[in-house]
Chains A and B, each alone.
Chain A
């Protein structure tokens, strides 16, 4: 069995977070809208209409290009990519060709704990096409429908060099890319809704074989990127081991069957006849504009991750989880402002806060809890006013009602029982009621002690100081012997 090297490159399309479309003033808020309502002569390609570029598109694309360390070309230009398709009203797509907004950048990310780097070949701006529907009661038999609401939504296409050497790396690189565009508020990065789309080129080579590039499309989640590419690695490896050729082709990922399927190349390669769009003048990206955007760039995920590791002494794993979502990272740091115990805050966020968010199906920005409220709760835990168990229950209520920790604790009459006498009485009661556990403990079963502590907690509705309870239990039990 020979050793193969896997080479993967990504092509990622991101819808830019603008309010208006790329070349007209139609709204970009198209999800769930009636078909063909967010349209105008420009995005419908009516005779005589002309494009005018939305300034914000340039800003957002520049932001992404700068964050990816791209070289910015001093003058840029739009080309027309000519082809016929019903979702393309003008018969051409306005895109960039030999003068994209950025070239020669790179992206750093962690994959399985190791820091990696993928070079960025180019990043360019282009307009999205409309949507085609093939199913629906309203469709006459044998037809498809065209909705132009999405026509002209701005996109950036980011193309990496083939620097990724495994499906894991490809996925991790894509995740980092998504994090970056979300961080910069360039895109909402939503793969399910199609605002972030990824295609990949993958080839396997060995010392004696040069790789053949296969393009994989239709991957709609990070998981499907990983699965599709893993499938491709295996498929190509098997072919090569059997001495069979790998064809240069486009393959579609079938999520349900878990396989890639050949898209059968056309006899005649498409000829897009790119040429400079005469309706749009070339424009220059002024140094001041580039500098302004550069200086306004927010801290990127990887920078933040590294700062969290040094500043708050978090592990790479902890820091990575926190920075996945900029809102979480901000929440973490805002909480620290009122309660400066990073490790403890981190633990609470990645366990309890995440659990509550998941159960409520919400995000931190939409949740009723605020960083200062969480800090208040954790302070109470830290001062042993309440136990961890109590705090978890309080937190749940904070998430549902939006009430503050102190208020909930007072209303529920919660206070940590740390009176030794009182606790000793309860402990004795519990010991009396549970002779079997006592016997187990005495015969050396440590687990029985946990059970007994639990019983004390139950008696006190969780209000017993856990450490004190434990100490008293051990003391009383040892006198039982």
Chain B
């Protein structure tokens, strides 16, 4: 279950901002969270500035407990290193995860199935693994996070060709082929707990391990979602509407992602001057937001 959001709901927000807030609400205070980049990473910082001030963020390059005065532009950005409690190595950070210290990991992919298995390696099309129609970047740390973080949050684009009965390639294990499969291997982690898409939020049935529809975003119907899922989607009897972000959450997102690098088309519009300006400004703004 997600954390209840307190504060006045925003009436002026974008879909991306709703997704950031939804990701933020999956994080509880004092948790250790393995973050990537993009919307989920923004969500982790929104959580830190609202209901989860003691959350410890970890990135793959080996930085633990970052408190940067700027937007994280990668998992090895200097921002990860800034005000960290530890700067260590990749294998050490991942070993801490395999040992069971990390509560939540965040993942994305090009395809997902009903058991939360994710593909970020290759879209086979008419070809196969060695000759795919689209080669994707590959696992990176995703397989490790899926195996060993206590639970995982999956972020997906809602399209029928992405929500499949069976993914072409399992880069990151969810519940594999269903109940009991993870137990057979004895992973450190318990598997995915939520899928956040641009249309809805899905959670996993404790008995069947299947993803079911838990909430639809404002303006989206259950049928809209079903049309963009390839399997026979189960719907919660109490299907909800995803709560909008609060005014406070939206304000924090605007400060963190001032140039809309993750929440808009800002990346393509950056110039060297506007980028340096962004870094200079964020130092002053964010420094006052973190506790001394």
Answer whether A and B are interacting partners. no
A interface residues (Cβ-Cβ under 8 A, vs B):
none
B interface residues (Cβ-Cβ under 8 A, vs A):
none
